[in-house]
Amino acid sequence: MDGFDIAGWGMAVPERRVTTTELAARFDIDEEWIISRCGIHERRAIDPGQSTASLAIDAGRVALERAGLTGKDIAHLIVASATPEQLSPATSAFVHHGLGIAGSAHDVNAECSGFIYGLVTGAALMKVDPRPILLIGSDTHSTQINPADRDLSILVGDGAGAIVLKPTETDWVLAWNLGADGSRQDSLRVQAGGSRMPTSATTFADGLHFSEIKGNEIYLNAVRFTVRSVRATLEQAGLTVDDVDHFVPHQANIRIINSILDHTGLKPEKLVTNLWKYGNTASASMPIAMSEALDEGRFKDGDLVLLAGFGAGMTWGSALLKWGGVSA
């Protein structure tokens, strides 16, 4: 058995809501301008005592319960995140302990593409070691935002989403595509805190531990690379956009999502989005959207579900799933 079944799913978001009304007042801008620009009415932010790992543990626990498993049944834990619990050890170590995972654990940092990277990694791992895998995307970008940064403050939200992969004889992944362009690594970055620019009084004073974004550059390249990835995945599968039943993009902002729809020809009615109420939750955005869609019964056996996203680095990726799988 070298295929997998998505046997469980779950999500976790903080209770605290940050509304667009609140941000419009803080930055002295029009509320409708924010909504038209990013499509977000509210987003969630962690409170003291919560963290990337605590959200991941909460989402993972729900996914395990739905799959009828416990941490002792999991052979491999993959945590996708760009906002780690701390620099060392990996966030997955904290999640591993919190959920009582029996097997291995590692992190994936491809920024907002992390869940796709983790899914493809998990699918490949299943082929060499067909045992249950827990894949979690969790991010708390609210902790990295300069409170005076309007552009990022209106976008980001915190959350986690998880899925459980169980070995099966059917194959759910029809095609996939991953890519990166490291020459664009400064389009979205946190400069300080690593070996290249160690933490110092100067880095704190200069605000170099906050996220920085080049919005126009991100927009143009996000659309370009995601569209390219979607086309490559569909071509690999021998299918077209008309064959896709559901499109689950990275929930970045509504302008980027609409541009991807326009350039690929994917129909708006196939879109799965909850951007308006959670904002951009980075690595968590796709599994959170999937979890809500599954809770609503939107995905049926035989449906073709297309996942696609992009992230800092830059990175991008897409995967086409046949819900319920196809015989190997």
Kindly state whether residues 136 and 189 are assigned to the same domain: no
Does residue 153 form part of some domain? yes
Percent with pLDDT over 90 in the chain: 89
Question: How far is C-alpha 284 from the geometric centre of its chain's CA atoms?
Answer: 4
CATH number (domain holding residue 274): 3.40.47.10
Q: Give residue 327's pLDDT.
A: 57
| Residue of 76, 141, 246, 250 marked catalytic | 250
Final residue in a domain of this structure, among 151, 171, 191: 171
Check whether residue 116 and residue 219 sit in a common domain: no
Query: Active site includes 250?
Result: yes
Q: Where does a domain end: 171, 205, 235?
A: 171
Quick one: pLDDT band at residue 19, thresholds 50, 70, 90? very high
Q: What is the pLDDT of residue 105?
A: 98
For residue 280, being part of any structural domain is answered with: yes
* pLDDT number for residue 1: 57
* Model confidence at 73: pLDDT above 90: yes
Whether 38 is catalytic is no
Choosing from 109, 177, 253, 280, the catalytic residue is 280
pLDDT tens per residue across span 296-327: 999 999 999 999 999 998 999 999 999 987 65
Q: Is residue 328 part of a domain?
A: no
What are the tens digits of pLDDT across the range 142-187?
999 999 999 999 999 999 999 999 999 888 999 999 999 999 988 8
**Is 131 a residue whose pLDDT tops 90?**
yes
Do 164 and 179 have their domain in common? no
Question: Which one of the listed residues 112, 141, 177, 253 is annotated catalytic?
Answer: 112
Same domain for 60 and 85, yes or no, is yes
Asked if residue 194 and residue 94 are part of one domain, the reply reads no
Q: At what angle do helices 31-38 and 20-27 cross, to 10 degrees?
A: 120
> Mean of the pLDDT values across residues 210-233?
92
Active site residue 112: yes
Identify the domain boundary among 171, 186, 212. Answer: 171
Interval 76-104 mean pLDDT: 97
Domain that holds residue 158: 3-171
268-292 tens-digit pLDDT:
999 999 999 999 999 999 999 999 9
* 40 falls within a domain: yes
**Do 226 and 134 share a structural domain?**
no
User: What is the number of domains present in the chain?
Assistant: 2
Which pLDDT band, with edges at 50, 70 and 90, does 61 fall under?
A: very high
